[in-house]
Structure 1
Amino acid sequence: MLILHRHLMREAFVASTMTLLVLLGVISALFLAELLAEAAQGELPGASVLLLLVLRLPEAILMIGPLALMTGLLLALGRAHEQSEMTVIRAAGVGFGQCFVPLGLLVSAWALALLLVSGWLAPYAVERTGTLMAEAARQAVVGGLQPGRFERLDRGRLTVYVGGMDTRDGRLENVLIQHDDPEQPEVLSAASGRMWLDAEDGSRYLSLLDGHQVRHGPDPGRGPLREMRFARNDIRLPPPELGGSEGGEMAARLPQLLSPESPAERREWHWRLAAPLAALILGALAVPLSYRSPRQGRWGSIVVALALYLVYSNAIQAGLVIMERRDAIAGPGLWPIHGVLLLAAAAFWLRHQRRW
């Protein structure tokens, strides 16, 4: 491999990797805010937020991996144009294909990495997330409640307050529960209580002892109002949502989708191949788009690349929606969308090659 090839590949790889890390930081911040909001609502254990964030990184990589590669190539090759390196290369008699074709190794390796993420790493993350949430639901018997704080569970429909807690035997003191039912809201209070786990189905229960219950209609002022005292009242607490890893999106490894048996599997097959194919096509398209005239702005090609990526990604999502509505086991799928952009990349290549 020529020194020129190693130089271009090194510059493109560093720029693409740094762009990927920056975009991952932005996406991870959005994911973290979403996870913290769900933890505040009691939908998932707060202690597992960071681990769940890590398990969502494959999803983020598939989202921005092709864009990071294209942006990195544009930055590296654009800088070579600005610093007249491409002028020197052309003056030295290096042909267009001889200069840029070796970059196909980087583009192919990047696409292969996205294929591994899409086909194997992402399903493992989905499976691990489901296992983690299931274990958290079984083990968080008392850990989900903290003394002196109002805890909102079941998407805010259930509010629990505990005045005190004995961590040795799990005994609770001064318990208040509000069940926000649109038809029959109710409030329960008890001097003491205890949380326990059903060994058969793993459900969490809160047993209230020596308490008082008030239930009324949608309008408390009009009634009816029902009051009662009880010696014991067992309330089933909602577990954290598990996310449904079985049979859902990204649950199956890619080889299991080679022969789709349903429209849903066929649609997921096309979706899982979209990111690697996008990396190949956008990587090839970045070479002609990186050309800059001496007085051309530095960031013009980046804006064009971003707009092109948005159109491309939205077209893929629209294609997936059309496939879902048609609900057919056969058809072109997303291939026409990839084909149109591939033809555009070939046309730009030929135009740039003639200009070279």
Structure 2
Amino acid sequence: MKTKRHGRGHRDPASSQPGRPGLHPTLIRYVSRHFLVALLGTLLVTAGLILLFDVIELLRQTAKVEEATLGMVVSMGLLRLPLVLQTGLPFAFLAAAMIAFWRLARSSELVVIRAAGVSVWQVLVPLVVLSMVLGAINVAAGNPIAAALFTQFERKAHEIGIGGDNPFSLSQGGMWLRESTDDGFTIVHARDARQENRVLFLSDVMVLEMGPDDLPTWRADAEQARLAGNRFLLTGAMVSVPGRPPERYEMLSVETNLSLPKIQERFAAPESMSFWDLPDFIAFFESAGFSAEAHRMHWHAMISSPALLCAMVLLAAVFGFNARQRQGAWLIRVTGCALTGFVIYFFSQVTYTLGQSQTLPVALAAWAPALVSALLGAALLFHLEDG
């Protein structure tokens, strides 16, 4: 019985399929280095512009403050810079990826990479993974640092008199309010604050009025109080005036500039809070009867931010990753990339607002910009690469 042997030139059909070469680690490091250098340069330029305009605005606000020197104003601008820079982070990643692809194309390295059979996906995977890691580091470490620095900025702003007129604090330690008056200031403290049916109820309340010489002029203590309009109505208040015996009032009215809309406005800017503090604060604020949808929306947006950064890299590849493009077409591509970035920003702001107003589910509103951007970028890349 004879066996049939393959000829010398015969190969297995399964092994004759040509495959794409894998991306060499050296090439991964090279492309990633281009991206990181472009990202660092973009962040430095953006930070410089933000700091310049912020210092100019602070100089305008502190023009009549004698103790506000240029060094103090610059230091305050630096304290606020990291928080403001968080907003422009997706644009920085979009611009950095576009710059990296432009450099590779200008030096014809992109042509060589494509000619070697390397697909766009093989080049993008390291950049997408790098963007995901940098985004996670920003959420875990960058955001808490920015929030802590912004807290110091607010403290300095109040010290030199350019902060808000109503420093207000509501935490597990109770409610604190400090308001300026014509000849001094008033301090209001309540051990517990709760909102019910659009009414703010306080318990274990203390109202202390200070005179122009920082000495107390009178003090009122009450077990219960409520905020009605622009007045605190204290029930069963005991009023103490220096040099006089205490007097009891069944109902005492104390004027205030605080209102429920102002409380909601004060807590409608959760960007100044650390990512790690948001869950506990949301639980506490909702237990007090207040709406914490703005904080919940911001927390989900922070979680989805690494995915949005990855989507920005995909969109930049749509406009920048083409080995056969002419140099004259770069202006059109850059303009299209910039317009796409602004459209994504506008879309994210719309969904953010809809999430805060509970028109859309919070998770959907937070993840929609990242998912839509990623799917759009992937679809266009599939069309350009395989279509």
Alpha-carbon distance, 1:352 to partner: 3.6
Amino acid at match of 1:34: E
> Of the candidates 12, 28, 34, which is equivalent to residue 35 of structure 2?
12
> Of the candidates 123, 126, 146, which is equivalent to residue 122 of structure 1?
146
Alpha-carbon distance, 1:69 to partner: 1.6
For structure 1, which segment, 315-324 or 18-27, has the greater mean C-alpha deviation from structure 2 after superposition?
A: 315-324
C-alpha distance in structure 1 between counterparts of 2:155 and 2:215, whole Å:
18
Amino acid at match of 1:2: P
Which residue of the partner structure matches residue 56 of structure 2?
33
Amino acid at match of 1:255: W
Which secondary structure does the structure 2 equivalent of 1:254 belong to?
coil
> Of the candidates 115, 121, 125, which is equivalent to residue 91 of structure 1?
115
Spell out the pairing of 1:1-356 with structure 2 (5 A cutoff): 2-40=25-63, 42=65, 45-46=68-69, 48-116=72-140, 119-136=143-160, 198=214, 248-258=269-279, 260=282, 261=286, 262-273=292-303, 275-292=305-322, 293-295=324-326, 296-326=328-358, 332-354=364-386
Amino acid at match of 1:280: C
Contact 1:69-1:279 at 8 Å conserved across structures? yes
Change (3 A) 1:96 1:298: closer
Change (3 A) 1:95 1:331: closer
List runs of 5+ in structure 2 lacking aligned partners. 1-23, 162-181, 183-211, 218-264, 287-291
Change (3 A) 1:67 1:199: farther
Amino acid at match of 2:325: P
Alpha-carbon distance, 1:247 to partner: 8.2
Change (3 A) 1:17 1:331: closer
Deviation string, structure 1 residues 8-64 (Cα, Å, up to 9, x no partner): 111111112111111211121221121111112549944631111001111232122
Contact 1:126-1:250 at 8 Å conserved across structures? no
C-alpha distance in structure 1 between counterparts of 2:85 and 2:99, whole Å:
20
Which residue of the partner structure matches residue 9 of structure 2?
none
C-alpha distance in structure 2 between counterparts of 1:66 and 1:128, whole Å:
26
For structure 1, which segment, 52-61 or 292-301, has the greater mean C-alpha deviation from structure 2 after superposition?
A: 292-301
Contact 2:94-2:316 at 8 Å conserved across structures? yes
Amino acid at match of 1:290: G
Give the TM-score, by structure 2 length. Answer: 0.57
Change (3 A) 1:87 1:27: same
Contact 2:300-2:362 at 8 Å conserved across structures? no
Q: Cα RMSD between the aligned structures?
A: 3.3
Change (3 A) 1:274 1:83: same
Amino acid at match of 1:106: L
List runs of 5+ in structure 1 lacking aligned partners. 138-157, 159-195, 202-243
Alpha-carbon distance, 1:130 to partner: 2.8
C-alpha distance in structure 2 between counterparts of 1:132 and 1:324, whole Å:
30
Amino acid at match of 2:336: V
Change (3 A) 1:43 1:349: farther
For structure 1, which segment, 251-260 or 328-337, has the greater mean C-alpha deviation from structure 2 after superposition?
A: 328-337
Change (3 A) 1:136 1:199: farther
Larger RCO (CA under 8 A, 6+ residues apart): 1
Give the TM-score, by structure 1 length. Answer: 0.62
Amino acid at match of 1:269: W
Contact 1:264-1:327 at 8 Å conserved across structures? no
Which secondary structure does the structure 2 equivalent of 1:321 belong to?
helix
C-alpha distance in structure 2 between counterparts of 1:67 and 1:7, whole Å:
23
Aligned length: 257
Deviation string, structure 1 residues 189-247 (Cα, Å, up to 9, x no partner): xxxxxxx762669xxxxxxxxxxxxxxxxxxxxxxxxxxxxxxxxxxxxxxxxxx9888
C-alpha distance in structure 1 between counterparts of 2:343 and 2:56, whole Å:
27
Change (3 A) 1:88 1:330: closer
Alpha-carbon distance, 1:312 to partner: 1.4
Alpha-carbon distance, 1:344 to partner: 0.2
Contact 1:130-1:245 at 8 Å conserved across structures? no
C-alpha distance in structure 1 between counterparts of 2:325 and 2:362, whole Å:
50
Alpha-carbon distance, 1:317 to partner: 1.9
Change (3 A) 1:70 1:25: same
